[in-house]
Amino acid sequence: MTSSIEPPHVYTARASSEPILELRNVDFCYPAARRSAAEVLGGSRLHKINMIVRRGKAHGLIGESGSGKSTIAKLLLGLTAPQSGQIFFDGELLRPDRLAAFRLRVQPVFQSPLDALDPITPIGKQIIAPLLVNFNMKSSECQARLAAAISAVGLSGEILGKLPHQISGGQAQRVNIARALILDPEVLICDEPVSALDMTVQAQILNLLSDLRESRGLSLLFISHDIRSVAYLCSEITVLKRGSIVESGSRDEVLLDPKTDYMKSLLEAVPNSGLGLETASPSKPFSRQIGRRDLPAEG
């Protein structure tokens, strides 16, 4: 299949801060048979979700398990459709006939990086597959794009011939990010991308995402239940509880001046709480900041 979308690197630069992804009054409910226990108890539904991800910005989505965070990711990736409400991408209503082009511009990075890779297909083939399938691109160009994507995430070419079980979790998540980047997307939907990784690797991946956002002008929807990661990476935060938005605003508003008891309880649950926003420093890497309890402001 050849998509009608133009090859990467041709998107016109737009003014940052304009909405790139928007959910308007979105309602969603899983069919009863597909609900997990957590969903049955709490958040199998999404109620009147209104949320905007702005161009070039990182938007955090936080909430406890079963609150509907990953469901929002699936809706935004076009993997499921809302029962009511609308989703807009780049100012245009997302319709089934536009999904193919949309999916190439909005890419996912999932939790459990090794699970997101086919265990019996070499990594190089997995990264390059979306290019081969969706674009009539010369082999040499594909290889150049592959090398660029691998290099952008700090991996060497040796990894391309390996199978997923031969690499570490941190490398696997970098491979997933490279696989997303090879299509040169405008938005990355990161669904708990660091929750399955240890602290050191978490810091590396968060720094990588932050660097990519700055260097490529990527928009990020960063879904996590780890408030510290969200606080580090995101300038805007939406808080979800049982399928409804309970708070939304800038990072400082949500974290320093929480309006709801739910958000306050989430903040109190953070180990060594006191996120240190007042001492934010954009220049320090995440790994150093965690220990000193200070977080950078977004650039």
Partner 1 sequence: MRRNTQKIFASKIARALVTLVLMVTSVFVLMRCAGDPVTVLLGPDATADMRAAYSGELGLDRPILAQYLAYLHNIVRGSLGVSYVYRQDALGVVLSHLPLTLILTCSALTLAAVTGVAGGIAAAVFPSSFIGRACTIGTVVGLCVPSFFLAIVLMLAFSIQLNWLPTGGAEGWRSLVLPAITMAAASSAVLARYTRVAVREALDSRYVLAALARDIPFWRILIHHVLPNAAVPILTILGLLIGGAVTGSTVVETVFSWPGIGNLFVTSVGNRDVPVVQAIVLLAGTAMIMTNLAVDLGYTWLDPRSKSSET
The CA-based angle 11-173-128, given to 5 degrees, is: 50
* Residue owning tokens 């940052």: 16
Stretches 59-67, 108-116, 145-153, 200-208: which one binds partner 1 (CB under 8 A)? 108-116
Strands 45-54, 58-62: parallel, antiparallel or unpaired by DSSP? Answer: unpaired
Looking at beta carbons only, is 195 or 250 nearer to partner 1?
195
Contact by Cβ (8 Å): 177, 197: no
Minimum separation from the CB atom of position 111 to partner 1 (A): 8
**Positions in 220-259 near partner 1 (CB under 8 A):** none
* Residue owning tokens 């669904």: 191
Looking at beta carbons only, is 166 or 279 nearer to partner 1?
166
Per rule CB under 8 A, is residue 99 in the interface with partner 1?
yes
Looking at beta carbons only, is 95 or 165 nearer to partner 1?
165
Per rule CB under 8 A, is residue 112 in the interface with partner 1?
yes
Looking at beta carbons only, is 26 or 189 nearer to partner 1?
189
Per rule CB under 8 A, is residue 119 in the interface with partner 1?
yes
**Contacting residues for 110 by C-beta, under 8 A, at least 6 apart:** 116, 176, 191, 192, 193
Stretches 11-19, 43-51, 77-85, 146-154: which one binds partner 1 (CB under 8 A)? 77-85
Secondary structure of residue 284 in the 3-state scheme = coil
Per rule CB under 8 A, is residue 103 in the interface with partner 1?
yes
* Residue owning tokens 């979308």: 5
Minimum separation from the CB atom of position 84 to partner 1 (A): 23
Minimum separation from the CB atom of position 297 to partner 1 (A): 31
Contact by Cβ (8 Å): 101, 5: yes
Backbone angles phi, psi at 225, to 5 degrees: -105, 0
Instruction: Measure the CA–CA gap between 139 and 20, rounded to whole angstroms.
Output: 32
Crossing angle of the two packed helices 169-181 and 139-152, in degrees rounded to 10: 130
**Positions in 165-184 near partner 1 (CB under 8 A):** 165-166, 176, 179, 183
Instruction: Measure the CA–CA gap between 291 and 115, rounded to whole angstroms.
Output: 30
Minimum separation from the CB atom of position 112 to partner 1 (A): 6
Which residues bind to partner 1, rule: CB under 8 A? 1, 3, 77-79, 99-100, 103-104, 107-108, 110-112, 115-121, 129-130, 133-134, 163, 165-166, 176, 179, 183
